Amino acid sequence: MDLSSWVDAYLSHLRVERALAANTVEAYARDLAKLCEHAEAEGEGGGDGGPREPAAFDERLVSTYMVKLGGEGLGARSAARHLSAVRGFAKFLVRERVIGANPCALVERPRTGRKLPKVLTTGDIGALLEAPDAATFRGLRDRALLHVMYAAGLRVSEVVGLRLGELDLRKGVVMPLGKGQKRRLVPLGEPALDALDAYLAKRAEQPRAAATTAVFLSPRGGALTRQAAWKMITGYARSVGISKPASPHKMRHSFATHLLEGGADLRSVQTLLGHASITTTEIYTHVADEHVRAAYRRAHPRA
């Protein structure tokens, strides 16, 4: 098997054994395809062009690949993502005894500045939640979706993937299926439950509703798509005059930040977000710190 064939085997491993999301596997596939292209180009330079054997995957190849990415103007964050894909692939080849040593062992990760998430204010969120027209079925659907996203901090893929069996309105919880096929339980507040009640009552009257268990229906009767949810949120944001960029992930960022500002502990927010590591959640403490500093500046006589 050549290097490209082993990449295919690794992607199958990610998809089947590790159950990574399709979007994540696609990102790995794109990054590793660039690595294979670079390996073939390096081979052509040495006079043995064409598909490369796994033995060509060595420290020199990884180093020249990272230099090539830098020369293309790739930022540190994107370069770090590429290196992460290459490292995972290298570990897989070592585990499968295709190569003897990890060629990435001595390659340093590009330094990336910590980018703070941008969030919407509680006023922005309030305006966004009231934007849909509750007199129409589409408006009821959109209002319920927005409420659930903000109340539970769901990813856009989680909210459009919700099924009726993952809602327990009596207990007031939602059970989304997150990354790595891991399910979590997240409570919903009264406003979100009320919005869901109103929407689901009308949903039951739709001609095509019985054909799917998707909670949020598209006009054709199937599940709403990620792209449609994204377009819907940005459209409502513009309609209520929110000038800053609004997106499904901005709502998730806002959910986490507003919880911390309200006094929630970091471990609870980690659980609600479905983060595997608390270091991923810690980024929100920096945003919440700014809230504390602003309150101090407003209130302290010697600030």
Q: Are 174 and 243 in contact (CB under 8 A)?
A: no
Identified catalytic residue from 150, 199, 236, 284: 284
Burial class (CB in 10 A: 0-12, 13-18, 19+), 163: middle
- Our measurement of the distance from residue 260's CA atom to the centroid of its chain's CA atoms, rounded to an integer in Å, reads 20
Catalytic residue among 52, 82, 141, 155: 155
Spot the catalytic one: 179, 184, 226, 291.
Answer: 179
Element spanning 12, H or E: helix 3-12
Annotated catalytic residue within 15, 34, 249, 291: 249
The answer to whether 199 is a known catalytic residue is no
Active site residue 13: no
Measure the CA–CA gap between 248 and 267, rounded to whole angstroms. 23
Is 252 part of the annotated catalytic residue set?
Answer: yes
Give helix then strand counts, H and E, for the chain.
13, 3
Q: Which of 77, 72, 1 is nearest to 34 (CA)?
A: 72
Closest by CA position to 255, among listed 100, 156, 134, 149: 149
Exposure b/e, 90-127, CB count within 10 A at least 16 = b: bebbbeeebbeebbbeebeebeeeeeeeebbeeebbeb
Catalytic residue among 82, 203, 252, 253: 252
Active-site position among 87, 118, 275, 291: 275
Confirm whether 253 is a catalytic residue: no
Tell me the torsion sign for CA atoms 204, 208, 214, 216: negative
- For this structure, is 249 an active site residue? yes
115 classed as catalytic: no
b/e code 4-17 from CB counts within 10 Å (16+ = b): bebbeebbebbbee
Strand partners, 31: none
Residue positions annotated with a catalytic role: 155, 179, 249, 252, 275, 284
